[in-house]
Amino acid sequence: MEVTDSSLIKALIVDDEALARSRIREILRKDSEIQLVGECTNGREALEAIRKHAPHLLFLDVQMPEMDGFAMLEALPRDRLPTVVFVTAFDQYALRAFEVYALDYILKPFDAERFNRTLHHAKAQIRQVRGSALNQGLLDLLTDLKEKPKAKIPERLVIKTGGRVSFLKTAEIDWIESEGNYVRLHVGKETHLLRETLNQMEDRLDSNQFLRIHRSTIVNLDRIKELQPWFHGEYRVLLHDGTQLLLSRKYREKLRDLLKDT
């Protein structure tokens, strides 16, 4: 049974030359964001490997026995098509490669610098696609949450500052950060400090409206504009006012669990 870290980018090498596969494998294994899920020597093997592993990234030779790279791509269902980088010794196929929406076309022999430039570009594109999918899931989640009955929670918080007492509607809070045994509430351009831990605050707030995205951060779901793929499975959370927060890998998995339940 294959065990895959969902934050990693799964890569597959398809090339009938052992030396070429070895060179690509050597570079990919130095990248902590990549999981090499297989190597194939021809197109037919590749079709089976893609069905089995659903790789995100494909390094593909053109001329191979039994089924060449283009024929293999044509045989793939559109929803199974990974990001494709052609790695070949023949430059006459370059135009056709981009006609089938290949990300890049690397000529053999290549050096590590050329390959890594393409790899960096490929990872950025894959993160962007993942981010778009997660954003759509978040929008679906928001719609679903608004239809659920609201829990009985305080609609206002009591704020004590300099001997004054004021009331703050929880819906007005943009985001909350931990400061030891205190929390700082961000409300527009103002902030308020409460003597309460983030865990206690999380228990008091409406889970349909507020989401823990980091060990030190809670955010109002209504304030989220978009999620942007970041490093090592994390995401930047961009709020409507331009504030940038971090959705850590741990809490991203919790968000995905929420999405699965909706």
**Enclosing H/E stretch for 132:** helix 112-147
CA distance 185 to 139: 24
Distances (CA, A) of 10 to 4, 5, 122, 216, 245: 8, 9, 12, 30, 27
Whole-prediction pTM? 0.52
Q: Other CB atoms closer than 10 Å to residue 86's CB: what's the count?
A: 25
Tell me which CATH homologous superfamily contains domain 134-261: LytTr DNA-binding domain (2.40.50.1020)
Which region holds residue 126: left if phi is over 0, alpha if psi is between -120 and 50, else beta? alpha
pLDDT at position 3, please? 44
Strands of the sheet with 244-247, listed across from one edge: 224-229, 235-239, 244-247
Q: Is the pLDDT of residue 262 over 80?
A: no
CA distance 38 to 55: 9
CA distance 52 to 125: 22
Q: What does the domain layout of the chain look like in residue ranges?
A: 9-110, 134-261
pLDDT tens digits along 167-195: 888 999 999 999 988 999 999 999 998 88
Does the domain at 9-110 match CATH 3.40.50.2300? Answer given as yes
**Do 245 and 227 contact (CB within 8 A), yes or no?**
no
pLDDT tens digits along 21-51: 999 999 999 999 999 999 999 999 999 999 9
